[in-house]
Amino acid sequence: MAEVACVQSFLRVASPEAWFEAVPEHIPELLIDHANCEKKAASTALSLMYRYVDQVPLLHQLSRLAREELRHFEQVLDLMQAQGVRYIQLSPARYAQGLHALVTKQEPRRLIDHLICGAVVEARSCERFMGLTRVLPEDIGGLYASLQKSEARHFENYLTAAHRLNETTQAYEDLPHRIGEFLKADADLITRTDTEFRFHSGPLG
């Protein structure tokens, strides 16, 4: 799987093994938070569609993405029902907020930052999906095996869109450096000890 391999080389650090080891004891939180992440991925795409109505090719891409993420949400919901997991409110992980704190206010850098954020979140999700298939029973892990390819594609689409927009706007002189700042934040958020188990949490301390 070429796409999945490129996700691993993009990220600066692998998820800590301690996070994967904790998964079997936290399956309800994993599934609920994963369902929330799929909803959030769809709503992030939708909010970008409201803000950037002049970016027609991007609108098509985001619209397809939002539909796909909602389909994933339905798949997680079905799995939760099959596993007898009750959908309750869970506070979000610090991860998404931590990454979004880096987004610049000024355009066109702001949109490029949002696209970088999207790429990093999708890459990290894909990497976790890969590891989850190792530690979950087959009736749950099967979903994660099936979702890997689409998240790797979402990662590539977001990253390509960021590069394309930067080429036309010249917003960043050194885009790889800017991407590196988000990857550094991701590495910190994913490896630093956390208090609650979530889909994008660090290892529990």
By CB under 5 A, name the binding residues for Fe ion: 38, 41, 69, 72, 122, 151, 154
Measuring CA to CA, which residue among 47, 84, 48, 46 is closest to residue 68?
46
**Minimal distance, residue 157 CB to Fe ion, in Å:** 9
CB of 46 to Fe ion, least distance (A): 13
Least distance from Fe ion to the Cβ atom of residue 72, Å: 4
Q: Which residues contact 11 (CB under 8 A, 6 or more apart)?
A: 120, 123, 124, 127, 183, 186, 187
Q: Which CB, 35 or 183, lies closer to Fe ion?
A: 35
CB of 6 to Fe ion, least distance (A): 15
**Residue nearer to Fe ion on the CB measure, 69 or 186:** 69
For Fe ion, the closer of residues 122 and 127 by Cβ is: 122
Evaluate whether 61 touches 161 at the Cβ level (below 8 Å).
Answer: yes
